[in-house]
């Protein structure tokens, strides 16, 4: 089975969700009143890393990003970080930053040099209203510590019209003062936002965000790097970026593969087609590789040609 699709796409970048549990319950991620729980079938660190190693053997991964749920509350975190030392791929992390400070040394020892922190507000009340938990100051301290440790930090913000539109300027102000790239993730039609009025009410298009930041001077888009979901813009104060599934879709050269904490592969962030590779843990290596290659071939067919429209899957188990 070919592992390159008709658009020339192949999997080179793996997102590993360490746990489906999260200490936040952000409005864009889960419906009101819901909490994210760990999968009853969550793998321990050794088994999850065994699957990562098999995938790396087949795909020669360029990048491995840890995500969740919230990866920094995962019980398998230290075993995964230990296992990652064996891998030559670039290691990175996506986190809400609440527990960043206490894990920075272990992350560095595992070779993690890039951290994306999800942060939706500079106002503590707006922050709490959106995340339902956490403490803004603790997140900001975590970012400062990571920067001080020489890590490359980006801040990811999901703008929502009725919630944090007024936070766009303060977020850019704070980030640009520290040389941190702020990236806006356009609201995605996923999970509870797939259908219905909430998406239309909350969605803020990229062009409106560019306009909001015009008080910092004229902004210019930079050429998008191949396989990147984001496009960077520059203005006289610094850099900011967009991950815009609606305004500037990026599926055409997507090289991402997702592995959940319970051993399922997904070829697209908005796909609900789970490909279970747990059996690879009990098979002799040649059979395990054959199983994985078969699942990868199927996962590749789930990639979308231009943009994704979302299925009833939930980003929180797949990570961003
Ligand atoms: N807990 C980690 C964090 O907070 O970064 C990793 C998982 S979280 C699901 C990953 C990313 O998904 C976050 O940056 C979040 O902002 C984004 N996200 C979740 N649902 C979204 C939606 N409907 N539209 C846009 N972004 C979304």
Q: Other CB atoms closer than 10 Å to residue 86's CB: what's the count? A: 11
* Residue 151 included in any domain: yes
Q: Verify whether ligand 1 is closer than 6 Å to residue 95 (CB atom).
A: yes
Q: Which atom of ligand 1 is nearest to the CA of 117?
A: 5
Span 17-43, average pLDDT: 95
Q: Is the pLDDT of residue 186 over 90?
A: yes
Span 81-108, average pLDDT: 97
* Proportion of the chain above pLDDT 90, given as a percent: 87
In which band, very low, low, confident or very high, does the pLDDT at 306 lie, cut at 50, 70 and 90?
A: confident
Q: Verify whether ligand 1 is closer than 6 Å to residue 193 (CB atom).
A: yes
Q: How many domains does the chain have?
A: 1
The pLDDT value recorded for residue 29 is 93
**If you average pLDDT over every residue of the chain, what do you get?**
94
Q: Is the pLDDT of residue 294 over 70?
A: yes
Residue 74's nearest CA partner among 109, 34, 36 is: 36
SS3 content of the chain, % helix, strand, coil (to 5): 35, 20, 45
As a whole number of angstroms, the distance between CA 149 and CA 109 comes to 12
Q: Verify whether ligand 1 is closer than 6 Å to residue 68 (CB atom).
A: yes
Give the range of the structural domain holding residue 155, as residue numbers without chain letter: 13-318
* Residue 185 included in any domain: yes
Span 180-190, average pLDDT: 95
The pLDDT value recorded for residue 309 is 73
Summarize pLDDT for 92-105 with one digit per residue, the tens: 999 999 999 999 99
* Residue 136 included in any domain: yes
Residue 21's nearest CA partner among 64, 66, 72, 65 is: 72
Cα-Cα-Cα-Cα dihedral of 233, 234, 237, 242, to 10°? 10
In which band, very low, low, confident or very high, does the pLDDT at 250 lie, cut at 50, 70 and 90?
A: confident
Q: What is the CATH number of the domain that holds 40?
A: 3.20.20.70
Q: Whose CA is nearest to atom 22 of ligand 1?
A: 188
As a whole number of angstroms, the distance between CA 160 and CA 204 comes to 6
Backbone φ and ψ for 57, nearest 5 degrees, come out as: -60, -40
* Residue 2 included in any domain: no
* Residue 206 included in any domain: yes
* Residue 1 included in any domain: no
Q: Is the pLDDT of residue 195 over 80?
A: no
Q: Whose CA is nearest to atom 10 of ligand 1?
A: 320
pTM, to two decimals: 0.96
């Amino acid at each position: 089975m070919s592992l390159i699709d008709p658009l020339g796409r192949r999997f080179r970048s793996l997102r590993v969700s360490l746990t489906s549990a999260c200490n936040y319950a952000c409005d864009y991620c889960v419906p009101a009143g819901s909490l994210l729980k760990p999968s009853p079938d969550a793998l321990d660190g050794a088994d999850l890393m065994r699957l990562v190693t098999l995938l790396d053997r087949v795909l020669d991964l360029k990048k491995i990003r840890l995500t969740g749920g919230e990866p920094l509350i995962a019980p398998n975190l230290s075993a995964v970080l230990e296992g990652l030392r064996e891998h030559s791929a670039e290691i990175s992390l996506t986190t809400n930053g609440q527990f960043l400070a206490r894990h920075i040394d272990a992350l560095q020892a595992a070779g993690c040099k890039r951290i994306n922190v999800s942060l939706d507000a500079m106002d503590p009340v707006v922050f709490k209203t959106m995340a339902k938990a956490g403490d803004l100051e603790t997140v900001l301290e975590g970012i400062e510590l990571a920067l001080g440790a020489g890590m490359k930090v980006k801040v990811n913000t999901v703008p929502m019209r009725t919630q944090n539109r007024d936070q766009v300027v303060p977020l850019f102000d704070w980030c640009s003062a520290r040389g941190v790239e702020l990236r806006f993730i356009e609201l995605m039609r996923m999970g509870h936002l797939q259908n219905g009025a909430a998406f239309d009410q909350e969605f803020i298009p990229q062009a409106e965000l560019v306009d909001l930041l015009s008080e910092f001077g004229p902004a210019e888009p930079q050429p998008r790097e191949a396989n990147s979901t984001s496009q960077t813009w520059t203005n006289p104060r610094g850099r900011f970026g967009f991950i815009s599934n609606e305004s500037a879709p990026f599926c055409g050269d997507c090289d991402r593969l997702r592995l959940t904490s319970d051993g399922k592969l997904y070829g697209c962030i908005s796909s609900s087609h789970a490909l279970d590779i747990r059996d690879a843990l009990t098979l002799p290596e040649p059979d395990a590789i054959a199983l994985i290659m078969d699942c990868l071939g199927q996962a590749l067919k789930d990639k979308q040609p231009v943009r994704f429209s979302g299925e009833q899957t939930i980003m929180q188990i797949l990570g961003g």
